[in-house]
A = this chain, B = another copy of it.
Amino acid sequence: MGSSTVSSSKLLFRQLFEKDSSTYTYLLADISHPDRSALLIDPVDKTVDRDLSLIKDLGLKLIYAMNTHVHADHVTGTGLIKSKVPSAKSVISKASGSKADLLIVPGDKIQIGNLFLEVRATPGHTLGCVTYVTGGGPDQPHPKMAFTGDALLIRGCGRTDFQGGSSEQLYKSVHSQIFTLPKETLIYPAHDYRGFTVSTVGEEMQYNPRLTKDEETYKSIMQNLNLPYPKMIDIAVPANMVCGLQDLTSKSS
């Protein structure tokens, strides 16, 4: 099993938690570069002030405010961030059908200083889900870090019963796009509900109670979850299709 510590002289990394929706927001920056460029993955509207205050304390310049997918359980912070940091660009996958400054496709690289993230398509929880993976190469973080959104959670995975979800597609996504990464790759999900903060590819390949099953068993597990209709979905999804700005407009009026 991997050591769950990252070695990089460039990377400043912070994991941040929003309690109400159990969402993890990630801050990454290249502090070896004079620009001290930074990005946020999956910021939440409620914690934007906390995140921007930390970015200020650390002397970073926020370049990108990114989402792994259109969230149904919270309003993204990307719109609010853009209103407070006009130079920051919102980022989401083209496949999500959402509005953003940068619509990324699989294989794209997102660069901050000399660090970069690669985009992998991991649909199944939603149609437009992507996983951001730190780059390869001796000057990039080792082990790699994978920001899996709701595709792969620690000992779990996102539900597949709405937003264009498909258990068949999610099974294929995780197996072809995440479980093919080196085993020591760190898994940083968009949520955890039991207080775990990180896992590894090797650990999930061995112990994920759903994704270690064969495809048919997995599909039957996913079809029988009987989860309640998400409380926030009718507010969050339309807002998140436009960087959370719909919510922002209603708040400020």
Residues of A within 8 A of B (CB): 1-19, 25, 31, 47, 50, 54, 57-59, 141, 194-198, 203, 206-207
Show 7 residue pairs from A and B whose CB-CB distance is below 8 angstroms, ordered by the A residue. Answer: A1-B12, A3-B31, A5-B8, A5-B12, A15-B197, A16-B195, A57-B207
B6 touches A5 (CB 8 A): yes
Q: Complex Cα distance A5/B10, Å?
A: 10
A197 touches B16 (CB 8 A): yes
Q: Complex Cα distance A206/B58, Å?
A: 10
Shortest beta-carbon contacts, A-B, top 7: A17-B195, A7-B7, A5-B6, A15-B197, A16-B195, A57-B207, A1-B58
A3 touches B14 (CB 8 A): no
Q: Which residues of B contact A1 (CB under 8 A)?
A: 12, 31, 58-59
- Chain B nearest CB: distance from A199 CB in Å? 9
- Chain B nearest CB: distance from A30 CB in Å? 10
- Chain B nearest CB: distance from A95 CB in Å? 29
Residue of B nearest to A60 (CB): B1
Q: Complex Cα distance A58/B197, Å?
A: 15
Q: Which residues of B contact A6 (CB under 8 A)?
A: 5-7
A5 touches B13 (CB 8 A): yes
Q: Complex Cα distance A15/B196, Å?
A: 7
Q: Which residues of B contact A5 (CB under 8 A)?
A: 5-8, 11-13, 141
